[in-house]
């Protein structure tokens, strides 16, 4: 891992060490939470490319994107544009997100919601379920093999889907070994912020049969979406291009009309 990911993950691990809450107590609380909406199922439905539209106020690389957004309004517009799922940043320090953003977005629509954050502890997984998320993100580069398997298993136990994110072939192998069935290829190098728009296509032939695959980062518009759809991807996760658009619904609709 490089400096960028190292520093963010270190901060989350330090916060987890200070967290005195009992995992057992959180699991008991999660027993009464309503059923999830089926994130993975939504990505496999239909013949068109599925769009995971992201609610993101800012990013470490670009700074402010849409800091004053109303998550409920943006989520409703994404849904109107044909998004299959939402992704909501809940990292406070680096992305300006919050659990309240996720709750507000989910309450305003019927779409499954991915909690986009840096999962480093069992309590992160259960917290996602408690705040109403339908799926969590597991970044292979941020976890060792034991953590990856443990968090994936816990998510499954709780009824959450897990989008397991990889950046290269070795990480893909680790994701498969951990039992990942929804695999995302992040085309952004988390050490340099550079985008490799050929990475998703390069890794497509390496994907395990039956996996639901998602292209992340570097999807600027319809042409990029068509390229990854032609390579076999079921979905794209798109943030900057849709959250900064003056017409969120139209920005999503143009991608959601791409055949796969």
Q: Is 108 noted as a catalytic residue in this protein?
A: no
Given the residues 79, 116, 171, 240, the one annotated as active site: 116
Is 202 tagged catalytic? no
- Known active-site residue 79: no
Output phi, psi for 112, to 5 deg. Answer: -65, 150
Query: Choosing from 79, 216, 240, 254, which is the catalytic residue?
Result: 216
The three state secondary structure string of the chain is CCHHHHHHHHHHHHHHHHCCCCHHHHHHHHCCCCCCCCHHHHHHCCCECEEEEEECCEECCCEECCCCCCHHHHHHHHHHCCCCEEEEECCCCCCCCCHHHHHHHHHCCCCCEEEECCCCCHHHHHHHHHCCCCEEEEEHHHCCHHHHHHHHHHHHHHCCEEEEEECCHHHHHHHHHCCCCEEEEECECCCCCCECCCHHHHHHHHCCCCCEEEEECCCCCHHHHHHHHHCCCCEEEECHHHHCCCCHHHHHHHHHCCEC
Residue with tokens 């953590």: 147
Q: Pick the catalytic residue: 59, 66, 79, 165?
A: 165
Catalytic residue among 56, 87, 240, 241: 56
Catalytic residue of the set 59, 186, 241, 254: 186
Q: Is 56 a catalytic residue?
A: yes
Q: Is 62 annotated in the active site?
A: no
Verify whether residue 216 is a known catalytic residue. Answer: yes
Q: 66 catalytic, yes or no?
A: no
If we measure between CA atoms, which residue out of 158, 115, 159 comes closest to residue 139?
A: 115
Just list the catalytic residues. Answer: 54, 56, 116, 165, 186, 216-217
């Amino acid at each position: 891992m490089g400096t960028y990911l190292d520093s963010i993950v270190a901060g989350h691990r330090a916060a987890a060490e200070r967290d005195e809450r009992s995992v057992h107590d959180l699991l008991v609380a999660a027993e009464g939470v309503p059923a999830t909406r089926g994130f993975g199922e939504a990505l496999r439905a239909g013949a068109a490319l599925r769009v995971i539209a992201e609610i993101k106020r800012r990013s470490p690389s670009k700074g402010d994107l849409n800091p004053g957004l109303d998550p409920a309004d943006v989520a409703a517009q994404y849904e109107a544009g044909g998004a299959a799922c939402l992704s909501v940043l809940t990292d406070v320090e680096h992305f300006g997100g919050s659990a309240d953003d996720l709750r507000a977005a989910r309450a305003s629509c019927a779409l499954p919601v991915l909690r986009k954050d840096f999962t480093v502890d069992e309590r992160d997984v259960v917290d996602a379920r408690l705040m109403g998320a339908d799926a969590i993100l597991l970044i292979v580069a941020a976890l060792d093999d034991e953590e990856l398997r443990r968090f994936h298993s816990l998510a499954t136990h709780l009824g959450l889907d897990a989008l397991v994110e990889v950046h290269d072939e070795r990480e893909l192998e680790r994701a498969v070994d951990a039992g990942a069935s929804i695999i995302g290829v992040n085309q952004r190098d988390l050490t340099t912020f550079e985008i490799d728009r050929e990475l998703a296509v390069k890794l497509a032939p390496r994907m395990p049969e039956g996996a639901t695959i998602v292209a992340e980062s570097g999807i600027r518009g319809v042409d990029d979406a068509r390229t990854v759809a032609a390579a076999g991807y079921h979905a794209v996760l798109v943030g900057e291009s849709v959250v900064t658009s003056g017409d969120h619904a139209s920005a999503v609709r143009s991608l959601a009309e791409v055949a796969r």
